[in-house]
Structure 1
C-alpha cells in the first residue's frame, strides 16, 4: 500500500450575528479526509477550537500628577461582546482582573493586585503613589471570553 502524508488547513468563516452567547466556548469538530477513490478516514481524536467572545478593557489612574505617598485611584471597565444583542458590548461581572504597574524607563509590567469586576463590569481600587509609571488592567480571559490588556495610563509622581 502507498501511504502519503498531507497537511491540510481549513478556515471556518461565520457570521457572528448568527451566534448566541451560549455558543461561546470549546467546539468539537468532526473532520473526514476523502481520497480520490471514494475512501475516507475520520480524524481522531476530533480536533477542538475555542470560539471566544471579544473583550474590551479600560483604565484611568488619577489624580495626575500626584505627590509621592498619596493615594492613586485606578478605575476601569471590562466588557465583552454580547452576541444576543447584535454584538453590543456589556459589562462582564464578577471577573478577576490584574492591576499591573510598569515603572517609567522600564519595559515590564508587574502584577500589584487582583481586583474583581462588579455587576456592571466596573473596576476600582486604590494604591500608594511611589514612582512615575504606567498603570493598566489585564484580564487573562475565561472559557468563553478572550484575554485583553488595557493600554497603560501614565501617572507622574512628584
Structure 2
C-alpha cells in the first residue's frame, strides 16, 4: 500500500516537470507581421547611416591658412583739376596674418612706406579658428602729382611666418582743359547808357553816361592790350563755359565813344562829339537839349574788338 502511493507521487512530480518545460501558446498573442530575420553565417551587423555634421575635433588644433583675400582701390581712375585735389583709398582684407603693409608705387616704380598694420598673433588653443582682419590706407593727389598708372603694393606676414604679396593698379589723370584763344574780334557792349534828366526843358543840359565793356571767355581771358588778345588769366571762378566762350564782361578803358543825335521825325544822325572811357570803362559827358529825339553813343571797334552802341530817347519841353 505504501509502495503504490510512492509510485503515484513520482508520476505526479514527473507530470509537473513536463508541463514546466513545454512551450506555452496563447490564443491572444498575434504573430509578428514582418519578423526580423536572424543574421546568417558570414553577415556583418551595420549601424544605420547618420549625417556627418563636421563636428570640430577638439583634439586637433586649427591649421592656419594665410591669405590676402582682397584689395579694393576706389576710385580706379583719379581725375585731378587745377587748384583741387582728389582722394583714393585702398582697402585690404586678410586671413590668418599677423601684419600687413600697404604701400604706394608711382609711375616710375618709386614707393612710399609707412602703411604697416599689426594684427597680433593667433591665440594658442585647440578651439582657435580662422582669423580675418581688414586695413585701409588713403592718398591725396593734386595738380603737382605725376599722371599715369600707380600701384598699391600689399605685403602680409602670415601666422606661419611667410610673406604674401599682391598688387592693384589705378590711374591718375589731369583735367587739362585749356581756355581757347580767341580767333576773331571780341564782342563789346555799352552797358547802362542813360540820358538824364528826362524829360528836360529846352536849352537845358543833359548828362549822357554809360560803361564800355568787353566780353570775357571761359577762364577769364580778356583784352589787356586793346589791339591784341591777352594771355592774362584770372581763374575759372569768374566765368562758366556756357555762352560760346563769350559769357562775361570786363571793363574796357581808354577807348573813344562817339555821341550822336537824331531829332524826332528825322532819319539822319548828327555827330555831336567824342568822349573817352575811364580806366574802369565808364564815361560821361554833358550836352544841351533843344529838340526831342534819340541820343546814341557808339564804339566803332578795333582790329580785335567788335563795335557796339546804345540809344535813349529824351522828350524836350518848350
**TM-score band w.r.t. shorter chain:** 0.5 to 0.7
How far 1:53 sits from its partner (Å)? Answer: 0.7
- In the TM superposition, residue 19 of structure 1 has moved relative to its aligned partner by 2.7
Counterparts of 1:89-108 in structure 2, within 5 Å, are 89-108=249-268
Distance in 2 between the 1:129 and 1:149 partners?
Answer: 20
Cα deviation per residue 1:109-139 (whole Å; 9 max; x = unaligned)? Answer: 2220000001111110000111101011100
**Shift of the alpha carbon at 1:82?**
2.0
- Distance in 1, Cα, partners of 2:274 & 2:180: 31
- State the partner residue of 2:207: 73
Distance 1:125 1:88 in 2: 26
CA distance in 2, matches of 1:108, 1:115: 21
The question of 1:153 aligning with 2:312 is answered yes
Relative contact order higher in (CA < 8 Å, ≥ 6 apart): 1
Distance 1:76 1:92 in 2: 12
| Residue segments in structure 2 that go unaligned for 5+ positions in a row | 1-177, 221-238, 240-246
Counterpart of 2:180 (choices 5, 19, 30) is 19
Which of 188, 195, 217 is the equivalent residue of 1:55? 188
TM-score, length-scaled by structure 2: 0.34
Larger Rg: 2
| Structure 2 equivalent of residue 29 of structure 1 | none
The two structures have a TM-score, normalised by structure 1, of 0.67
CA distance in 2, matches of 1:81, 1:106: 33
2:275 — aligned with what?
115
SS in 2 for 1:120: coil
Q: CA RMSD in A?
A: 1.6
Structure 1 portions without partners, runs of 5+: 1-16, 25-50
Shift in Å, 1:149: 1.6
SS at match of 2:249: strand
- Give the structure 2 partner of residue 130 of structure 1: 290
